[in-house]
Amino acid sequence: MAQRASAVTRRAVLASGAGLAFSLAGCGSRAVARSGRLDEIRLGDRPIILAAREQAVRLQPGGMTPAWIYGDAAFPVLRLKSGASLAVDLENRLKEHTSIHWHGVRGPNAMDGVPYVTQMPVEPGEMFSYRFAPPDPGTYFFHPHCNTSEQLGRGLSGALIIEGDEEEPFDDDVVCLIKDWRLAKDGSFLPFLTLEGAGRAGSFGTLRTVNGQPTPDIEVPAGANIRLRMINGDSSRVGDIGIMGAEASAIAIDGSPIKPFQLETWRLGPAMRLDLALRTPQAGRKVEIVDFFAAEPVVLATLVAQGAAKRSGDFKPLALKAHGVPEPDVAGSEMHQLKLAESATATDYSRLAPIELPDGRKIDLLDSLCSNARTLWAIDGRTWPQTGHEHLPPPLMEFRKGETALIELQNTTPHVHPMHLHGHSFKVLSASKLKRPVHWADTVLVMPDERVQIAFVADNPGNWMIHCHIVEHQDTGMMGWFRVA
Ligand code: C2O
Ligand code: CU
């Protein structure tokens, strides 16, 4: 028997009314997570039910917003000890089909949550059981993989934290999920996909939030060594994340440990994660999380130090424990080139007739394709989808199990593309424009006219997606798949 998800930790006590207007908790019986933190759910042996459902939330003063959330409150943080099995039953209480993709997790193909590719979509009223043991500790993101512009745009997503990578425990561990919302004055949503946005850098939000609140104050212990888990949960916006008021070190990228280095700023594209270690200041002092991308930096959230200092002296963050991802054989492998381009052949699927199912129900081809009316983007000359879901387009690449995949992503467009591969962590070997240390990742920014070389051991059998994580690009063609067999 599954038990209903309930938040167990970090439910802060209400102190004043100030944060209420922006709380993401619904108007029901929820207590309000006041400290700027998300509700956390510790996963145990018994499965939990995560219901995907609509929930009116107040994000801005003008009116309520019909958000879509998992469980009781937006952006649940699921925590699991490494080695343990994840047991989540997705219950679909939406009016359209959905699924959960566990972004970045090197899990089994059948649990990857891609409709028509790894599972049938979960129809309204149906349940789907996700059961697998995530192999690597780290910070992950989960979200639907169908009609993603709308479903993610409405907020349907969460964080998955696999614990067990720390040599020494931190004094506190803070998840910061960044997401912008596209809202009209009355709180209703603006269109999630616009031709203008899809054809360029994506449609940007009108309201920027961290953990569902505009510029929240997040309480942290003073003089403490804390771990900050930054997740870019936005569909479009690339941030350039920096910390003011404390020295922060990067300790993991996309959940994978990296030799700690002092953070100046880190370019964080959609679905990318950045783990930071920092020593908080004395009580009353503040640390700001800032997006330096635009000429005018934007404060995304403020850490407010409280209580007696926990530590003194210098802080030199320890590296996280090494993960078990196999080292690719770069020298002995042939390079696959993947060209990211505008699509020459725009397909208008909206002109096609609905499909009639054996039981008489009609489904719109567009819905069944999980796509929108136009394809604007291509990988290696192919757009997604090309055909109905009963026929996958041919794979972009095929690998024998255990073979090293060595890939050069070539961006021939004037826009940045955060490219994501399912089922594997890859090593970012080199990039021709944006300087980055060699690091492991599952999503990598490919700057305009840039060439980025990545490699990984294709050791996880299955059909895996590769796509841009600017969701409007993904939904208008910049997606394909590769096979490991
Ligand atoms: Cu985060 Cu295929 O996606
Ligand atoms: Cu893109």
In the reported structure, the alpha carbon of residue 421 is separated from the centroid of ligand 2 by a whole-number distance in angstroms of: 13
In the reported structure, the alpha carbon of residue 289 is separated from the centroid of ligand 1 by a whole-number distance in angstroms of: 25
* Distance from C-alpha of 280 to C-alpha of 310, rounded to nearest angstrom: 9
Ligand nearest to the CA of 104: 1
User: What's the confidence (pLDDT) of residue 395?
Assistant: 92
Tens digits of per-residue pLDDT, 118-155?
A: 999 999 999 999 999 999 999 999 999 989 999 999 99
Q: Is the CB–ligand 1 distance for residue 420 below 6 Å? A: yes
Beta carbons of 120 and 145 less than 8 angstroms apart: no
In the reported structure, the alpha carbon of residue 473 is separated from the centroid of ligand 2 by a whole-number distance in angstroms of: 5
In the reported structure, the alpha carbon of residue 148 is separated from the centroid of ligand 2 by a whole-number distance in angstroms of: 14
Q: Which atom of ligand 1 is nearest to the CA of 103?
A: 1
Ligand nearest to the CA of 140: 1
Q: Which of 128, 141, 129, 124 is nearest to 54 (CA)?
A: 124
Q: Is the CB–ligand 1 distance for residue 145 below 6 Å? A: yes
- Tens place of pLDDT for every residue, the chain, 485 residues? 445 544 433 333 222 233 333 344 433 333 345 589 999 999 998 999 999 999 999 999 999 999 999 999 999 999 999 999 999 999 999 999 999 999 999 999 999 999 989 999 999 999 999 999 999 999 999 999 989 999 999 999 999 999 999 999 999 999 999 999 999 999 999 999 888 898 899 999 999 999 999 999 999 999 999 999 999 999 999 999 999 999 999 999 999 999 999 999 999 999 999 999 999 999 999 999 999 999 999 999 999 999 999 999 889 999 999 999 999 999 999 999 999 999 855 454 444 445 455 556 554 544 444 444 467 899 998 888 754 455 677 899 999 999 999 999 999 999 999 999 999 999 999 999 999 999 999 999 999 999 999 999 999 999 999 999 999 999 888 999 999 99
Closest C-alpha residue for ligand 1 atom 3: 103
Alpha-carbon dihedral sign for residues 143, 149, 151, 157: positive
* Distance from C-alpha of 281 to C-alpha of 481, rounded to nearest angstrom: 47
Q: Is the CB–ligand 1 distance for residue 467 below 6 Å? A: yes
**Residue 416 carries which DSSP code?**
-
Q: Which of 195, 250, 414, 421 is nearest to 328 (CA)?
A: 421
SS3 415: coil
Q: Which of 398, 329, 370, 346 is nearest to 474 (CA)?
A: 370
Burial class (CB in 10 A: 0-12, 13-18, 19+), 437: exposed
In the reported structure, the alpha carbon of residue 335 is separated from the centroid of ligand 1 by a whole-number distance in angstroms of: 24
Query: Which residues does 380 contact at the CB level (< 8 Å), separation at least 6?
Result: 337, 338, 339, 396, 480
Q: How far is CA 98 from CA 128, 283, 358, in A?
A: 10, 45, 21
Q: Is the CB–ligand 1 distance for residue 273 below 6 Å? A: no
Q: Is the CB–ligand 1 distance for residue 103 below 6 Å? A: yes
| Cis status, amide bond into 385, omega within 30 of 0 | yes
**What share of residues in the chain are helix, strand, coil (percent, to 5)?**
5, 40, 50
Q: Is the CB–ligand 1 distance for residue 465 below 6 Å? A: yes
Reading phi first (left if > 0) and then psi (alpha if -120 to 50, else beta), residue 10 is in left
In the reported structure, the alpha carbon of residue 3 is separated from the centroid of ligand 2 by a whole-number distance in angstroms of: 39
Residues around ligand 2, an ion, CB closer than 5 A: 417, 468, 470, 473
Q: Which of 75, 73, 106, 101 is nearest to 88 (CA)?
A: 101
Closest C-alpha residue for ligand 1 atom 1: 103
User: What's the confidence (pLDDT) of residue 343?
Assistant: 82
Beta carbons of 221 and 172 less than 8 angstroms apart: yes
Ligand nearest to the CA of 448: 2
User: What's the confidence (pLDDT) of residue 381?
Assistant: 86
Beta carbons of 420 and 66 less than 8 angstroms apart: no
Q: pTM for this structure?
A: 0.90
* Distance from C-alpha of 229 to C-alpha of 251, rounded to nearest angstrom: 10
Tens digits of per-residue pLDDT, 372-426?
A: 446 789 999 888 875 445 567 789 999 999 999 999 999 999 999 999 999 999 9
In the reported structure, the alpha carbon of residue 46 is separated from the centroid of ligand 2 by a whole-number distance in angstroms of: 39
